[in-house]
Structure 1
Amino acid sequence: MTSLAHFPIPLLGFAAFSGTGKTTLITQLLPKLTERGLRIGMVKHSHHDIEMDNPNKDSYKLRKAGACQMVLASPHRTILFSEQDEPAEPQLITQLKWLNTDELDLVLVEGFRHEAFAKIELHRPSLGKPLLAVDDQHIIAIATDAAIEKKELLDKGLTYLDLNDINVITTFIMRYCHKT
């Protein structure tokens, strides 16, 4: 797999400005999609320095001692830590390579909005932010909580979804995955 276009299973992102409700929507969607039988992988982008490990645990001490990759395995879950040589903005394709797609039906992505893959834009006109779909040809739908009147979007063939109707968004995703 060398590009997002050749990813072996459906890949769908959620693009929006901070504070629009991406994480809230995804946490509502995940149970609905798993109820319909989908096995879902998730990749989330963060602009912050993240630290999940506890400084009092051996795994933290081993990683800080110099392990550039660390797998922490238990009967309940496996966690992979991978240290970056130099701080750099992550690329989605690199993150996707960590997933075992043989065990997944769909990968949802939060963030990475500047990369070229299919996305649903979340848009709340009350926040006063511009529509991303105007400049992003990879946005296939807009989930919004109010009417949008943008002439520049008329010819794009976008699907409009009610941001407050989780069942409509779930059905759209199932169709996107060809699972309905």
Structure 2
Amino acid sequence: MKVAGFAGYSGAGKTTLVEAVIAELRARGLRVSVVKHAHHRFDIDQPGKDSWRHRQAGAFEVLVVSDQRLALMREFERPGAPDIHAMLAELDAGVDWVLVEGFKHGDLPKIEVWRAPAAGEAERPLRCTEDAGVLALATDEPGRLPAAVPVPLLDLNQPRAVTDWLIGQGARFEYRSPE
């Protein structure tokens, strides 16, 4: 499987780009999985539902299965930064691509997604100038970049071209577990 990270500041357009790239890859007959890093406490379960009640009762894991999907919820015993490689190990190894949104400090090859800050917002430095894992930068305003970019520039508003670039660079995204 190939793994491509998408990293950038909140509001830069990562989710919109990842969503469009998923559709492009699927249209080409490829199987795609996604790992999304959430920075906040979140819950996909609904209060009062059986699976929620099982978790509230103290279950470490709750696996909900139907004839159409599976969802695994696992409570971490101690808060801590999740390991992206452990998360990838949880996925079906038979997928063609895994798109990882977030985990910007992870050691995966990635595309940086950059948008200029709005008036009054703090500057947004580039990661690609210091992170060798950034293989390209997707932006909609190359003229407002705060520094020279040492990687290819991709048009944030052209997900088909971003997908073409990913597929063309596929060998660089081939996943090898660090173990």
What is the TM-score normalised by the length of structure 1? 0.86
Could you tell me which residue of structure 1 aligns to residue 138 of structure 2? 143
| Alignment partners' CA distance in 1, 2:62 and 2:146 | 50
**1:122 and 2:119 correspond:** no
Which protein is richer in helix relative to its size? 1
User: What is the distance in 1 between the residues matched to 2:10 and 2:137?
Assistant: 16
Aligned-partner SS, 2:128:
helix
Asked whether the 8 Å contact 1:106–1:177 carries over to 2, the reply is no
Aligned residues: 165
- 1:156-176 Cα distance to aligned partner (Å, 9 max, x none): xx2211111122111112223
Q: CA separation in 1, counterparts of 2:129 and 2:164?
A: 24
- On the 8 A contact 1:122/1:144 being kept in 2, the answer is yes
SS of aligned partner of 2:19: helix
Name the amino acid aligned to 1:131.
L
Q: Which structure 1 segments of 5+ residues have no match?
A: 1-8
Distance 1:52 1:149, change over 3 A: closer
Task: Point out where structure 2 has 5 or more consecutive residues left out of the alignment.
Answer: 172-179
Q: Is contact 1:143-1:163 (8 Å) kept?
A: yes
* Identity across the alignment (%): 37
1:82 to 74, 77, 96: 74
Instruction: Please say if residues 12 and 120 of structure 1, whose CA atoms lie closer than 8 Å, have aligned partners that are also in contact.
Output: yes
The residue type equivalent to 1:25 in the other structure is L
Q: Which residue of 1 aligns with 2:169?
A: 176
Deviations 1:102-130 (A, max 9, x none): 2x001000000001110000112345311
CA RMSD of aligned residues (A): 1.5
